[in-house]
Structure 1
């Protein structure tokens, strides 16, 4: 199939844009609001930025664990939707809720009773730990609530319903940003709470977000508006079949998250200026990443639906299209980041050293973005949608722990390189994953029809 013939499919692009644009728009608005939040906190100084950043690093671990659970569930949901199997979609949602809420509860208890011990892993700065602990003791009450929102949002996405999660989360995060502004500085008669105000604003926004999504699902009797009995209609065989596929995804995200946490530990031990610079550059990176989150999620849903329908030929064609489109778009995005990052960074009131570090971090990001996008599309969008979760586990965690973590520890703590060179070493794992991942996609060994093997 020639390159022109490969992309000569209006139906494909219509479906892709229908899924990708709302997801990308949602993530763009969320990341933009997070950028505003970071700027609001930035007005309190570098210690405040670092403390909130480290406290959120703990949530980052939970976030990726929840992403693993919901992503694993989405593999089944997308294929069941292709097979029009509503009963099993609701069962998967029930398992997703049980698993996600259990994980969130454990993280809540840890952050509530051991905040200083947790944050001391990341930093030795007493002021950062004190501020971060206060923030963490408030924000942990949003964790279980967030897990419920995640379960319903990802299930909606996997059935092609992307507008509801977009509208709900954007509304909630807009409220979060407004409350952040009011509670951090005490404007318009609100109490001046500093970093604790930011945590309180986020907690309120998460509660609103959960209520809105449940209202949207059950008020309109949505296809996933399952009764409690339908959510809990779980046989031992069904549960074992579910976890056989999802446990590698959960392990993948968890072990990968621990690896990324190792990066954060190295940055933290390199100094508060380094932490501040990586927090700032990461916020800008998340804004850039929204396009590719949209593409990757559209890829997973579309390929999952095709496999569920039993149309493996089109599933493979879709995979080839996405691994070309993603990196090409990423090259253009990298150029855009390269030229606009100085303007974006000028909004931050930080020292010249922090500014310089953040600017050079973003140059590294812009150079390697296309490689990162290829791997995200491959692992999250293609291989997982076909149920090839064990290979993804080996590839993703092997890249972090065998290449990324050793190089970052050497670069940051042994060779004492500047943070932007350490940033570049992180991307060596992405290069390795591309070299190993591409042959797997072309082999077609990742295509597994899970919907046709349903266990009641």
Structure 2
């Protein structure tokens, strides 16, 4: 029997909240969800921090590799979120069901293929890509376990994007809260050998990550396809229906995946440069990255608000509304960036009590990195909103790729090698290079955003 109505989520046009409230309704739960995810990583870092600086470096270096896989494949979730928002705006229930179901099938296939290959070569991979022998030895088992989590992480990215665009932004946050609490308890128990549990060291944190990633994907699947019928499981029936779903899915996902690949590889290569200065410099960089992530993602909900609200406006053919949402979200980003930037700077006071075992040199380097990056939080948040929200919503993924390539590979990384390895600045030079990269990306993203042709985009979505 054909469907006669859209799913049971709240029709975004059934009420008229203020623009600020509508942005907050989407952005706040998403930001809280990502903060919880990064708190999970931070807790793992604190737990393994009791094992010393090499353990911190091993977990951070391994995470930077699996981060490449997770974020690159997670571009499928961004693509699905944009298409779901457009389907909601146009009230196309069948297209919504086909898009989500096909995306889940694709995520399962890609996630399985991409996670198994590095798992087989885990024994040698860390050393081959630049880890010191001590870091590679400490991190191999952890890396092998977390790379298997790529599949459920990718599936969770897809399902979370669906729920946000379908009017249920708090649901992914609830799933994340449950699994973060579980992860923290499991990680502490397995790393330290609490009670009847074996003391697995760094590998214990890997087991916690894998188990809770699987649990989160199952919870989100129940939320999407369960009793509330946010989406019904419905594969396309004909070749024409498959084409109508898969082509736009990959038209967005492939370029987004490429840009995420460039971004994550660039982040990883910075870690390689830090490693050239020693395990302590790498450990300090991981502490800064993890702490910064917690405060940067306090604004990440604005990116989700952009893709959702602009996508709905494009789907309903309202160009003026799409442009207005872009302007409002960018303005909101300034306020959140200033607030969270100040909190990030104050977090330098947490280094002594949380990372006492890492050593005074590690804490000093991390403190310098925190203060430098906190001063430029506004730039990073603007890049996140425009580069990951506005440009993909405007179908200008090439602009995102251009910004990431120029920022990281033309400006940032060469400057990091020059300042970090060939001047007395050392680790300070690498942190400075990353800030200059963000300024270069800001210039590219801002230029490309001014060139988006919303009229053409609305015509294509009709």
After TM superposition, is the score higher than 0.5? yes
Q: Distance in 1 between matches of 2:238 and 2:57?
A: 41
Cα drift, residue 239 of structure 1:
2.6
Query: Are the aligned partners of 2:399 and 2:444 in contact in 1 as well (CA < 8 Å)?
Result: no
Cα drift, residue 276 of structure 1:
0.6
Q: Which of the residues 386, 400, 419 maps onto 1:411? A: 419
Q: Distance in 2 between matches of 1:276 and 1:225?
A: 46
Matched, 1:114 2:121: yes
For the structure 1 residues 57 and 126, does the alpha-carbon distance in structure 2 shift closer, same or farther, using more than 3 Å as the test? same
Matched, 1:226 2:233: yes
Matched, 1:203 2:227: no
In structure 2, the residue matched to 1:151 is: 158
Q: Which of the residues 359, 367, 377 maps onto 2:367? A: 359
Matched, 1:421 2:445: no
Query: Are the aligned partners of 2:77 and 2:160 in contact in 1 as well (CA < 8 Å)?
Result: no
Query: Are the aligned partners of 1:308 and 1:449 in contact in 2 as well (CA < 8 Å)?
Result: no
Cα drift, residue 413 of structure 1:
2.8
Query: Are the aligned partners of 1:361 and 1:420 in contact in 2 as well (CA < 8 Å)?
Result: yes
Alignment of 1:49-60 (within 5 A): 49-60=56-67
Matched, 1:87 2:90: no
Question: What SS class does the counterpart of residue 201 from structure 1 fall into?
Answer: helix
Deviates more, 1:25-34 or 1:232-241: 232-241
Cα drift, residue 175 of structure 1:
0.4
Deviates more, 1:25-34 or 1:74-83: 25-34
Query: Are the aligned partners of 1:72 and 1:250 in contact in 2 as well (CA < 8 Å)?
Result: no
Q: Distance in 2 between matches of 1:56 and 1:92?
A: 31
Q: Distance in 1 between matches of 2:330 and 2:158?
A: 27
Q: Which of the residues 4, 7, 22 maps onto 1:15? A: 22
Question: What SS class does the counterpart of residue 189 from structure 1 fall into?
Answer: coil
Question: C-alpha deviations, 1:227-262, integer Å up to 9, x for none?
Answer: 355799843354334322332111111122222221
For the structure 1 residues 231 and 103, does the alpha-carbon distance in structure 2 shift closer, same or farther, using more than 3 Å as the test? farther
Q: Distance in 2 between matches of 1:129 and 1:197?
A: 16
CA RMSD of aligned residues (A): 2.3
Segments of 4+ moved more than 4 angstroms? 228-234
Q: Distance in 2 between matches of 1:132 and 1:56?
A: 10
Query: Are the aligned partners of 2:319 and 2:458 in contact in 1 as well (CA < 8 Å)?
Result: no
Cα drift, residue 448 of structure 1:
4.9
Cα drift, residue 442 of structure 1:
3.7
Cα drift, residue 339 of structure 1:
2.9
Alignment of 1:395-406 (within 5 A): 395-406=403-414
Query: Are the aligned partners of 1:296 and 1:377 in contact in 2 as well (CA < 8 Å)?
Result: yes
For the structure 1 residues 231 and 371, does the alpha-carbon distance in structure 2 shift closer, same or farther, using more than 3 Å as the test? farther
Matched, 1:293 2:300: yes
In structure 2, the residue matched to 1:383 is: 391
Query: Are the aligned partners of 2:341 and 2:377 in contact in 1 as well (CA < 8 Å)?
Result: yes
Matched, 1:334 2:316: no
Q: Distance in 2 between matches of 1:451 and 1:43?
A: 57
Unmatched runs of 5 consecutive residues or more in structure 2: 1-15
Alignment of 1:66-215 (within 5 A): 66-215=73-222
Cα drift, residue 353 of structure 1:
0.5
Question: What SS class does the counterpart of residue 375 from structure 2 fall into?
Answer: helix
In structure 1, the residue matched to 2:5 is: none
Cα drift, residue 444 of structure 1:
4.2
Deviates more, 1:401-410 or 1:238-247: 238-247
Q: Distance in 2 between matches of 1:431 and 1:231?
A: 47
Cα drift, residue 75 of structure 1:
2.0
Cα drift, residue 355 of structure 1:
0.2
Question: What SS class does the counterpart of residue 168 from structure 2 fall into?
Answer: coil
Deviates more, 1:444-453 or 1:49-58: 444-453
Deviates more, 1:88-97 or 1:170-179: 88-97
For the structure 1 residues 226 and 46, does the alpha-carbon distance in structure 2 shift closer, same or farther, using more than 3 Å as the test? same
Cα drift, residue 114 of structure 1:
0.9
In structure 1, the residue matched to 2:13 is: none
Alignment of 1:430-449 (within 5 A): 430-445=438-453, 448-449=456-457
Deviates more, 1:377-386 or 1:240-249: 240-249
Query: Are the aligned partners of 1:326 and 1:377 in contact in 2 as well (CA < 8 Å)?
Result: yes
In structure 2, the residue matched to 1:239 is: 246
Deviates more, 1:335-344 or 1:201-210: 335-344
Question: C-alpha deviations, 1:39-71, integer Å up to 9, x for none?
Answer: 111011111111111121221001211222211
Matched, 1:62 2:69: yes
Cα drift, residue 415 of structure 1:
3.0
